Homo-oligomer: A and B are copies of this chain.
Amino acid sequence: MSLTVIGLGPGSPDQVTPEARHAVAAAEEFFGYAPYLDRLELRPGQKRIASDNREELSRAKAALARAAQGVAVAVVSGGDPGVFAMAAAVCEAIEAGPVEWRTIEVCVVPGVTAMLAVAAKAGAPLGHDFCAISLSDNLKPWPLIEKRLDAAAQAGFVIALYNPISKARPWQLGSAFERLRKTLPAATPVIFGRAAGRPDERIEIFPLGEADAGRADMATCVIVGSAETRVIERPGSGPLVYSPRFARESA
């Protein structure tokens, strides 16, 4: 009995690892959010079971139930499956599920997660200590997110924001920017990285003081610099944004 959780990377086929490609070839049934399943080139006989993007736990349970029946199951995520994605949901389902599920061989195939793809397009904004925070308050209370934003900004972490905005969560990113403006200088660079590596890619850089949450959508990963993050203007091409490797005591 086996279940593989596969990271498909940020979206470009060129950023899918050979390991992920082999794992796709070896599986019989694929569980995932439809846009991720759409990226797969499946053979006749390989089967896709699509579900909505807020049904992670029921999707994980359905996949484990099929794996327990002896089917070679794959659960697919965009980016890396361990970062705000399906690997944790599968673990949650195993812990809460029948003891038999603990004997299913679980393999997680890592991938390039969104913040790395966005950072690469901008320069090296994650070049110093950084954190990743999901702005979704579906599964955690908003005050806890605010506490983490404060802690991260005050301690000098660069901050990558996942799940910044959606139709059901329209105000959270704007509220996060407001919160961060209390601690960080208005000139702090903010990167809006949409669909990095895909044909519809859009990378935009604004100072925190002018960052407008309306620039983000569900396919965007937002990176907020620390007070040390720098912008290098270049003639004829976009600026480079980077966080120096060194830091002063006061940082």
Distance between A222 CB and nearest chain B CB, rounded to angstroms: 15
Docked-complex contact A16 and B14, CB < 8 angstroms: no
- Report the copy number of this chain in the oligomer: 2
Give chain B nearest CB distance to A75 CB in angstroms.
12
CB 8 Å contact bits of A92-113 with B (1 = contact, 0 = none):
1011000000110110111111
Could you mark each residue 229-245 of chain A with 1 if its beta carbon is under 8 Å from any beta carbon of chain B, else 0? 01011111100101111
Chain B residue at minimal CB-CB distance from A79? B116
B17 x A16 contact (CB < 8 A): yes
Docked-complex contact A116 and B127, CB < 8 angstroms: no
A90 at the binding interface (Cβ < 8 Å): yes
Alpha-carbon gap, A105 to B102, bound state (A): 50
B234 A103 Cβ-Cβ under 8 A? yes
Judge if A36 is at the interface, Cβ distance under 8 Å. no
Q: A18 at the A/B interface (Cβ < 8 Å)?
A: yes
Whether, in the assembled complex, A53 has its beta carbon less than 8 Å from a beta carbon of chain B, the answer is: no
Interface residues of A in 5-61 (CB under 8 A from B): 7, 9-10, 12-19, 22, 56
Q: Quick one: given A19-B12, A102-B235, A147-B155, are A242 and B92 in contact (CB under 8 Å)?
A: yes
A143 interface hit (Cβ, 8 Å): yes
Is there an interface contact between A140 and B14, defined as CB atoms closer than 8 Å?
no
Residues of A within 8 A of B (CB): 7, 9-10, 12-19, 22, 56, 80-85, 87-92, 94-95, 102-103, 105-106, 108-113, 116-117, 119-121, 123-134, 139-141, 143-144, 147-148, 151-152, 154-157, 230, 232-237, 240, 242-249, 251
**Can you list 20 pairs linking A and B with CB atoms under 8 Å apart?**
A12-B19, A56-B245, A87-B120, A87-B127, A88-B128, A91-B123, A102-B235, A108-B119, A108-B124, A111-B112, A126-B132, A129-B131, A130-B132, A131-B132, A131-B152, A131-B157, A139-B247, A140-B246, A140-B248, A151-B152
